[in-house]
Amino acid sequence: MSDNTQAKTYNVLIIAVYRDLADEFLGADEVSKLTIGSHEVAMDVFVGDPDEDSTFKERVSKAHAVGILVRFLDVLSLDKIRNMYHHLTQAGTSIPVGVFYLRDKGELDFKISCPSCGQKLWLRDTDVGKRGRCPNCSKPFIILSQADHLKAQLLLPEGMPCVKVTRKENDSLRTALGKLLESKLSGVIPMDVNVNLEAMKHATVRIQVQDT
Protein backbone atom coordinates (compact mmCIF):
# COMPACT_ATOMS: atom_id res chain seq x y z
CA MET A 1 0.00 0.00 0.00
CA SER A 2 1.40 3.43 -0.96
CA ASP A 3 1.83 6.32 1.46
CA ASN A 4 -0.97 8.18 -0.35
CA THR A 5 -3.53 5.57 0.64
CA GLN A 6 -2.39 4.93 4.19
CA ALA A 7 -4.28 6.60 7.01
CA LYS A 8 -2.33 9.36 8.68
CA THR A 9 -2.78 11.55 11.74
CA TYR A 10 -2.30 15.27 11.13
CA ASN A 11 -1.57 17.65 13.99
CA VAL A 12 -3.11 21.10 13.52
CA LEU A 13 -2.28 23.97 15.85
CA ILE A 14 -5.19 26.37 16.28
CA ILE A 15 -4.10 29.75 17.62
CA ALA A 16 -6.55 32.29 19.00
CA VAL A 17 -6.18 35.66 20.67
CA TYR A 18 -9.01 35.10 23.16
CA ARG A 19 -9.85 32.11 25.37
CA ASP A 20 -13.62 32.40 24.87
CA LEU A 21 -13.10 32.30 21.11
CA ALA A 22 -11.17 29.03 21.39
CA ASP A 23 -13.91 27.59 23.63
CA GLU A 24 -16.58 28.54 21.06
CA PHE A 25 -14.51 26.93 18.31
CA LEU A 26 -14.16 23.62 20.17
CA GLY A 27 -17.82 23.65 21.20
CA ALA A 28 -19.54 22.31 24.29
CA ASP A 29 -17.99 18.87 23.79
CA GLU A 30 -14.49 20.36 23.38
CA VAL A 31 -13.80 18.46 20.17
CA SER A 32 -10.04 17.93 19.83
CA LYS A 33 -10.01 15.19 17.15
CA LEU A 34 -11.92 14.77 13.91
CA THR A 35 -11.85 12.18 11.15
CA ILE A 36 -11.53 13.46 7.59
CA GLY A 37 -11.85 10.64 5.09
CA SER A 38 -9.42 7.97 6.24
CA HIS A 39 -7.28 10.40 8.21
CA GLU A 40 -7.47 11.76 11.73
CA VAL A 41 -6.87 15.41 12.59
CA ALA A 42 -5.76 16.19 16.15
CA MET A 43 -6.10 19.81 17.22
CA ASP A 44 -3.91 21.60 19.74
CA VAL A 45 -5.08 25.07 20.81
CA PHE A 46 -2.78 27.95 21.70
CA VAL A 47 -4.31 31.04 23.32
CA GLY A 48 -2.34 34.07 24.35
CA ASP A 49 0.69 36.12 23.42
CA PRO A 50 3.67 34.33 21.83
CA ASP A 51 5.91 36.97 23.43
CA GLU A 52 4.92 35.69 26.84
CA ASP A 53 4.68 31.93 26.21
CA SER A 54 7.95 30.13 25.52
CA THR A 55 6.12 27.00 24.28
CA PHE A 56 4.79 28.70 21.14
CA LYS A 57 7.71 27.82 18.82
CA GLU A 58 7.84 24.25 20.08
CA ARG A 59 4.13 23.72 19.47
CA VAL A 60 4.40 25.20 15.98
CA SER A 61 7.30 22.85 15.22
CA LYS A 62 5.16 19.81 16.07
CA ALA A 63 2.25 20.86 13.85
CA HIS A 64 1.53 19.80 10.27
CA ALA A 65 -0.50 23.00 9.76
CA VAL A 66 -1.56 26.13 11.65
CA GLY A 67 -5.02 27.68 11.69
CA ILE A 68 -5.50 31.27 12.90
CA LEU A 69 -8.91 31.61 14.55
CA VAL A 70 -10.74 34.94 14.35
CA ARG A 71 -14.25 36.29 14.85
CA PHE A 72 -14.59 40.07 15.07
CA LEU A 73 -12.22 42.08 12.88
CA ASP A 74 -11.95 45.24 14.97
CA VAL A 75 -8.58 46.94 14.95
CA LEU A 76 -7.50 45.65 18.37
CA SER A 77 -8.19 42.03 17.40
CA LEU A 78 -6.39 42.48 14.09
CA ASP A 79 -3.38 43.91 15.88
CA LYS A 80 -3.17 40.81 18.08
CA ILE A 81 -3.53 38.56 15.03
CA ARG A 82 -0.70 40.40 13.25
CA ASN A 83 1.53 39.74 16.22
CA MET A 84 0.82 36.01 15.94
CA TYR A 85 1.56 36.13 12.19
CA HIS A 86 4.83 37.88 12.95
CA HIS A 87 5.89 35.08 15.28
CA LEU A 88 4.88 32.43 12.75
CA THR A 89 7.03 34.17 10.15
CA GLN A 90 9.95 34.40 12.56
CA ALA A 91 9.62 30.70 13.33
CA GLY A 92 10.54 30.01 9.71
CA THR A 93 7.84 27.37 9.34
CA SER A 94 7.06 25.95 5.90
CA ILE A 95 3.84 24.25 6.97
CA PRO A 96 0.45 25.38 5.60
CA VAL A 97 -1.13 28.35 7.38
CA GLY A 98 -4.76 29.42 7.05
CA VAL A 99 -7.38 31.61 8.69
CA PHE A 100 -10.70 30.41 10.11
CA TYR A 101 -13.37 33.01 10.84
CA LEU A 102 -16.02 31.78 13.26
CA ARG A 103 -19.72 32.44 12.71
CA ASP A 104 -22.88 31.35 14.51
CA LYS A 105 -25.36 29.34 12.43
CA GLY A 106 -27.53 31.73 10.43
CA GLU A 107 -25.39 34.75 11.30
CA LEU A 108 -25.57 37.22 8.42
CA ASP A 109 -23.38 40.10 9.57
CA PHE A 110 -19.88 40.69 10.91
CA LYS A 111 -17.82 43.36 12.64
CA ILE A 112 -14.81 45.24 11.30
CA SER A 113 -13.05 48.53 11.97
CA CYS A 114 -13.24 51.43 9.53
CA PRO A 115 -10.13 51.27 7.30
CA SER A 116 -9.59 55.03 7.78
CA CYS A 117 -10.31 55.85 11.45
CA GLY A 118 -10.73 52.55 13.32
CA GLN A 119 -14.41 53.04 14.23
CA LYS A 120 -16.05 49.64 14.86
CA LEU A 121 -18.74 48.88 12.28
CA TRP A 122 -21.37 46.19 11.72
CA LEU A 123 -21.57 44.99 8.11
CA ARG A 124 -24.16 42.72 6.52
CA ASP A 125 -23.27 39.98 4.05
CA THR A 126 -25.93 41.40 1.71
CA ASP A 127 -24.05 44.72 1.57
CA VAL A 128 -20.84 43.19 0.17
CA GLY A 129 -19.79 44.95 -3.03
CA LYS A 130 -21.67 48.16 -2.20
CA ARG A 131 -20.12 51.51 -1.31
CA GLY A 132 -20.38 52.35 2.41
CA ARG A 133 -19.59 55.44 4.44
CA CYS A 134 -18.26 55.45 8.01
CA PRO A 135 -20.58 57.40 10.37
CA ASN A 136 -17.56 58.55 12.40
CA CYS A 137 -15.12 59.95 9.81
CA SER A 138 -17.48 60.06 6.76
CA LYS A 139 -14.86 58.36 4.58
CA PRO A 140 -16.38 56.11 1.87
CA PHE A 141 -15.11 52.62 1.08
CA ILE A 142 -16.17 49.51 -0.82
CA ILE A 143 -17.64 46.87 1.50
CA LEU A 144 -15.68 43.64 1.23
CA SER A 145 -16.68 40.19 2.41
CA GLN A 146 -15.29 39.08 5.76
CA ALA A 147 -12.71 36.87 4.04
CA ASP A 148 -11.64 39.57 1.56
CA HIS A 149 -11.41 42.14 4.36
CA LEU A 150 -9.09 39.82 6.27
CA LYS A 151 -6.93 39.26 3.20
CA ALA A 152 -6.69 42.99 2.50
CA GLN A 153 -5.94 44.06 6.07
CA LEU A 154 -3.40 41.30 6.78
CA LEU A 155 -1.84 41.14 3.30
CA LEU A 156 -2.46 37.41 3.11
CA PRO A 157 -0.83 35.51 0.24
CA GLU A 158 -3.15 34.96 -2.72
CA GLY A 159 -3.76 31.27 -2.19
CA MET A 160 -3.97 31.18 1.59
CA PRO A 161 -7.18 29.51 2.83
CA CYS A 162 -9.56 31.92 4.57
CA VAL A 163 -12.56 29.81 5.49
CA LYS A 164 -15.79 30.30 7.43
CA VAL A 165 -16.43 27.83 10.26
CA THR A 166 -19.92 27.56 11.70
CA ARG A 167 -19.88 27.19 15.46
CA LYS A 168 -20.86 23.74 16.80
CA GLU A 169 -21.01 22.20 13.29
CA ASN A 170 -18.31 19.57 12.86
CA ASP A 171 -18.94 19.18 9.13
CA SER A 172 -18.08 22.85 8.67
CA LEU A 173 -14.92 22.37 10.71
CA ARG A 174 -13.93 19.29 8.69
CA THR A 175 -14.26 21.28 5.46
CA ALA A 176 -12.06 24.08 6.82
CA LEU A 177 -9.40 21.68 8.10
CA GLY A 178 -9.41 19.84 4.78
CA LYS A 179 -8.75 23.06 2.86
CA LEU A 180 -5.98 23.99 5.28
CA LEU A 181 -4.18 20.67 4.95
CA GLU A 182 -4.40 20.82 1.14
CA SER A 183 -2.69 24.20 0.96
CA LYS A 184 1.02 24.64 0.37
CA LEU A 185 1.59 28.11 1.79
CA SER A 186 4.43 28.93 4.16
CA GLY A 187 3.61 32.12 6.04
CA VAL A 188 2.20 35.62 6.18
CA ILE A 189 3.46 39.17 6.16
CA PRO A 190 2.56 41.36 9.13
CA MET A 191 1.44 44.94 8.52
CA ASP A 192 1.34 48.00 10.75
CA VAL A 193 -1.89 49.99 10.87
CA ASN A 194 -2.37 53.56 12.12
CA VAL A 195 -5.80 54.19 13.62
CA ASN A 196 -7.71 56.83 15.50
CA LEU A 197 -7.62 55.66 19.14
CA GLU A 198 -10.67 57.73 20.05
CA ALA A 199 -12.72 55.98 17.36
CA MET A 200 -11.84 52.58 18.85
CA LYS A 201 -13.59 53.57 22.08
CA HIS A 202 -16.92 54.14 20.34
CA ALA A 203 -19.67 51.55 20.34
CA THR A 204 -20.02 49.46 17.20
CA VAL A 205 -22.46 51.14 14.80
CA ARG A 206 -24.26 50.13 11.62
CA ILE A 207 -22.50 51.29 8.45
CA GLN A 208 -24.20 53.73 6.07
CA VAL A 209 -24.84 52.07 2.71
CA GLN A 210 -25.04 54.29 -0.35
CA ASP A 211 -27.36 53.49 -3.24
CA THR A 212 -25.67 53.31 -6.61
Name the H helices within the chain.
Answer: 19-26, 56-61, 75-90, 146-154, 170-182, 197-200
Asked if residue 98 belongs to a domain, the reply is yes
What is the span of the domain harbouring residue 163? Answer: 9-105+147-192
CATH number for position 66: 3.40.50.300
**Which tens digit of pLDDT belongs to each residue from 83-112?**
888 888 777 777 888 999 999 999 999 999
Q: Look at residue 170 in the predicted model and tell me its pLDDT.
A: 85
pLDDT (average), residues 157-166 = 87
Q: Is the pTM of this model over 0.85?
A: no
pLDDT (average), residues 56-84 = 89
Other C-beta atoms closer than 10 Å to the C-beta of 192 total: 6
Quick one: CA dihedral 47, 51, 55, 58, positive or negative? Answer: positive
Q: Is 32's pLDDT higher than 90?
A: no
Q: Look at residue 6 in the predicted model and tell me its pLDDT.
A: 61
Q: pLDDT category, 82, cuts 50, 70, 90?
A: confident
Asked if residue 202 belongs to a domain, the reply is no
Asked if residue 206 belongs to a domain, the reply is no
Mean pLDDT of the chain: 81
Asked if residue 100 belongs to a domain, the reply is yes
Q: pLDDT category, 140, cuts 50, 70, 90?
A: very high
pLDDT (average), residues 153-171 = 86
Asked if residue 136 belongs to a domain, the reply is no
- As a whole number of angstroms, the distance between CA 46 and CA 57 comes to 11
**Which tens digit of pLDDT belongs to each residue from 164-210?**
999 888 888 888 888 888 843 233 333 333 444 444 445 566 676 76
Asked if residue 122 belongs to a domain, the reply is no
Asked if residue 57 belongs to a domain, the reply is yes
Q: Look at residue 204 in the predicted model and tell me its pLDDT.
A: 63
Asked if residue 86 belongs to a domain, the reply is yes
State percent of the chain over pLDDT 70.
80
Q: Which amino acid is at 118?
A: G
Q: Considering its fold, how many domains does the chain have in total?
A: 1
